Amino acid sequence: MARIVMKFGGTSMAGTERIRRVAQIVRKQAAGGNEVAVVVSAMAGETDRLVNFAREAHALYDPAEYDVVVASGEQVTSGLLALTLQSLGQKARSWLGWQLPVRTIEAHAKARVDAIDSEALLASMADGTIAVIPGFQGLSADGRITTMGRGGSDTSAVAVAAAVKADRCDIYTDVDGVYTTDPRIVAKARKLKAVTYEEMLELASVGAKVLQTRSVSLAMKEGVRIQVLSSFVDDDATPADDLPGTLIVSEEEMERMVEEGKMERKLVTGIAHDKNEAKIILTRVPDKPGAVAEIFSPLAEASINVDMIIQNVGRDKGETDVTFTIPQADLARAQALLEDKREAIGYNRIITDSHVAKISVVGVGMKSHAGVASDMFRALAERGINIQAITTSEIKVSVMIDEDETELAVRVLHTAYGLDAEDAA
């Protein structure tokens, strides 16, 4: 017997027919003698619809009330799945975020899970009653409903899995695993049998939306075993227990898989893109100590995350241009803050551009091998793609390019690093 947490995303829960399919998958997992808890997302498109309602009601909405509105999508699907399971003769009940409760900390709309009371859940699971939990929602210390940021149901599922010490957390979605890049963009993307926590964390944080970044960091911290797999399967598909999807594994487990010939080690594991960043250029900033601090302090105080930064070589007049990127959603706020500080910073012009995309290549192999970045720059140059900014970490290289060239760049790099499916062993 195993204890399994199953999570179903928006497309998997989109309507009565899909929910019936989900109920069958859940029942099959439980019928194998396993203890099961299920975490569900709102129906596909529903959270966007609710976010728009909140915006229409009040452009500068109160995040606490926003949470009341957007958390409702998951309440509907959790009740519907419990009902559908019951209609199949399976004992099931829903547990809303405030009922368990899922205690969260920090801000509304981007709450973090602090702790989940697992007692009721464990009792329910032991009794053979499937617990259905709405993802994305929790309860703040002052008793109000919270949500965990877009894609947050992945994090709910991992948090539940950690709380009940599950053997595995299966994340069911609309693709059958984690691929070398978004399979909806690159037809030759290859499914990975396994990927390390560290790589998945980088891939998620640079735009591979298959898992929410926080869900991966939580799983890494708590040692939760994640499998990403598809809910769009028929009855004779390989059972989840035989691991047909992609496993997120530790570095040691990956080493073992490589040694046993189950995985091939490539320098680059995956490529991700992100069109949600914007670029800001401040021209003729005084080239003197403290100038850069004047620019970035107000942004930091406003919790605006700066990603890439370039300070050009000072011109002879003691001036320099400073270019950096921030999330597109924060552009208007950042621009207003910087315009307020124009005199204190002493820049000449502010130029903004949200028509940019960040392309990132990720792989732990980069720790020990040089040349990944230069291969990237050469491959892009050969296709005439101009690089506007560059940033690197130990296992990642990212470049900022024109948004129109996103798909081309991802495809070119996918081929350049030998990731295309036809190259597969």
Q: Is 135 in the site for Mg ion (CB under 5 A)?
A: no
Sheet bearing 102-105, strands edge to edge: 112-116, 102-105, 137-139, 145-147
- Assess 151 for contact with Mg ion (CB under 5 A): yes
Main-chain dihedrals φ then ψ at residue 146, nearest 5 degrees? -130, 165
73 binds ligand ASP (CB under 6 A): yes
**What are the backbone dihedrals phi and psi of residue 359, each rounded to the nearest 5 degrees, phi first?**
-115, 130
Token pair for 150: 């877009």
Beta bridge partner(s), residue 360: 272, 398
Q: Considering beta carbons, is residue 25 or 389 the nearer one to Mg ion?
A: 25
Nearest to 248 by CA among 118, 373, 161, 148: 161
Judged by CB under 6 A, the chain residues 18 through 57 that form the site for ligand ASP are 41-42, 47
Residues 76-135 that bind ligand ASP (CB under 6 A): 135
Contact 95, 37 (CB under 8 A): no
Size of the site for Mg ion (CB under 5 A): 2
Q: How far is the CB of 149 from ligand ASP (least distance, A)?
A: 7
71-91 CB burial, b ≥16 within 10 A, e <16: bbbbbebbbbbbebbeeeebe
Minimum distance of ligand ADP from residue 175's CB (angstroms): 5
Select the residue interacting with ligand ASP from 66, 95, 136, 324 (CB under 6 A). Answer: 136
Pick 135 or 183: Cβ nearer ligand ASP = 135
Residue nearest to Mg ion (CB): 151
Q: What is the DSSP letter of 112?
A: E
Shortest separation between residue 320's beta carbon and ligand ADP, angstroms:
37
* Choice between 18 and 103, CB closer to ligand ADP: 18
Q: How far is the CB of 184 from ligand ADP (least distance, A)?
A: 4
| Angle subtended at Cα 46 by Cα 185 and Cα 247, rounded to the nearest 5 degrees | 50
Residue (134 or 151) nearer to ligand ADP, CB: 151
Residue 384's Cβ-count burial label (10 Å; 0-12, 13-18, 19+) is exposed
Report in angstroms how near the CB of residue 202 gets to Mg ion at its nearest: 17
Residue ranges that bind Mg ion, judged by CB under 5 A = 9, 151
Residue ranges that bind ligand ASP, judged by CB under 6 A = 9-10, 41-42, 47, 73, 135-136, 150-154
